[in-house]
Each structure stands twice: as C-alpha cells, then as structure tokens.
Amino acid sequence: MEWRIVKDYEELSLMAARFVAAQVKNKPNSVLGLATGSTPIGMYRELTRMVERGELSLQQVVTFNLDEYIGLAPDHPQSYHYYMHHHFFSHVDIPAGQIHLPYVEKGAAQEEDCEACEAYDRMIEEHGGIDLQVLGIGRNGHIGFNEPSISLEVGTHIVTLTEETRQANARFFQRIEEVPTHAVTMGVGSIMKAERILLLASGSDKKEVLARLYAEGVRTELPASLLHVHQDVTVIADREAAAWLPVGESLKG
C-alpha cells in the first residue's frame, strides 16, 4: 500500500485526476471502477477540465460504479445515478453505452436473491475486470457499501445500511428518515480483482479510520483492511485525514 499525503483537498483532487488520466493514457479502453460520495467530486471536476482542454479523451473508457441506494429513482438528486451524471458523465465524452451503475428496484429483490447483482458481476467479467478502481472510505471503514461485519460478500449484493452510514449520509437529505435503509454494492471480490486501486480520503472525519487502516491487520470488521493483501493500492490522503498516521513528516508534505 503506497501512501501519498498531500496538503489539502485541492491537491488531492488534482493528484487523483492525474492518476486516473495516466491510467487512461496508458490504456485508452480502461475499465474504471468509480465511486461517489463527497471525496471524489474534485477529482471528477479536474478530469472534466482535462477533457474540456483537450488533454484527455475518455471515449473508449468503460465504467462500473460501486454502489447505489435502493428506493431512489435514478433521477432523484441523492441517487448515485444522478450524482454521476451531474458531477461527471454529462460533462465528458464517455458514450452512454459504456457507463454502468448497479440498480435494483425496491421490492424487486431479496437480500439473498438478486439477479441484477449477478448480471452486474457478469458484465464486469465480460469486460475483462476492472483496471483501476477508485474508492472512498467510510468512517467505519466501509468500501462501497461493504459494511463492517463478521463476513464480507464477494459478489455484488444487497446490503442493509448501518445506522452509522445512514447518519453520515443524512447530511445530503432533509431528514434521516429519507435516507434509504438498503443499497446495492459491488462486493469485495470485484474490488480486490481490480488491477489497481486508488483510495481517497479527505478531512479530519477520516483521521481515525485512516489510522486504523494503517495500523490494523486484515479483518472484516474493517473492510478497507482487505486492501492490505492487494498488490497495487495507492492511498491519497490530505493532511487532515492523515493527521493520526504515524508516518514521517516528510510524507505529510
């Protein structure tokens, strides 16, 4: 796991965008695993600028998003479909047919039986798997919506969101009751099978979980800790998120 500590959110966004752009320049038909949340918004903004300036083309890229709430229509402002179109897809040149997000109708699937989930995994496999997976990290260590648990699921699946995650995401809704209770998420299998992983963390809210990620061994109660056994993970954190890391001051920039 390679750690890069940058000054602030602006630097994090630029470094993350350059990381993704380098991947695409190296392999124009890259399969990108994409994340939502507040953290990657700046990265999407910087990538958009690169495309607008003619420095980068995403025309051959294929994307698979990590997760989506269940119970929000794709045009709901808090759905991840809406987020991705608003922050990224509507501004760049990825053909619509190459964009994929998981979607499960409310009531259409049970936790133990999700055809749409299996179809999503098959589609990722048919595209040869993910070349670069972008991840955020929850304050409880979740990646995607793979929540701390005594076991983790390999494939795309339906999850009951933890109270902590619902509380953390309530800031985007008017009331906590509006935050969906369920979501669909890629499992840790597709994430761990990605050739390369880029994990982003910004702000003091993340300093505790990053310190745990740095110090703790692999355990399902800290889903992000699985990344310790992946061969190519880069973490970009800003100074606030890195505040509790016992790494040399030189790394902190």
Active-site amino acid positions: 67, 140, 142, 147
**Alpha carbon of 92 to those of 25, 79, 133, 200: distances in Å?**
15, 19, 19, 21
Residue closest to ligand PGA, measured at CB: 37
Q: Which two tokens stand for residue 41?
A: 């918004």
Which ranges of 88-198 does DSSP label H, i.e. alpha helix? Answer: 115-126, 163-169, 188-193
Dihedrals φ, ψ of 250, to 5°?
-60, -40
CA 124 to chain centre: 15
* Measured distance CA(141)–CA(4) in Å, rounded: 19
Q: Which two tokens stand for residue 112?
A: 């133990």
Contact status, residue 74 vs residue 81, Cβ threshold 8 Å: yes
Nearer to ligand PGA, 138 or 187 (CB): 138
Nearer to ligand PGA, 27 or 243 (CB): 243
CA 116 to chain centre: 20
Nearer to ligand PGA, 27 or 182 (CB): 182
Contact positions vs ligand PGA (CB under 6 A): 37-39, 136-138
Nearer to ligand PGA, 120 or 145 (CB): 145
Could you say which DSSP state residue 161 is in? P
Could you say which DSSP state residue 162 is in? P
Contact status, residue 34 vs residue 65, Cβ threshold 8 Å: yes
Q: Which residues pair with 235 in a beta bridge?
A: 3, 199
Nearer to ligand PGA, 39 or 65 (CB): 39
Shortest Cβ 136–ligand PGA spacing (Å): 3
Q: Which two tokens stand for residue 125?
A: 């496999």
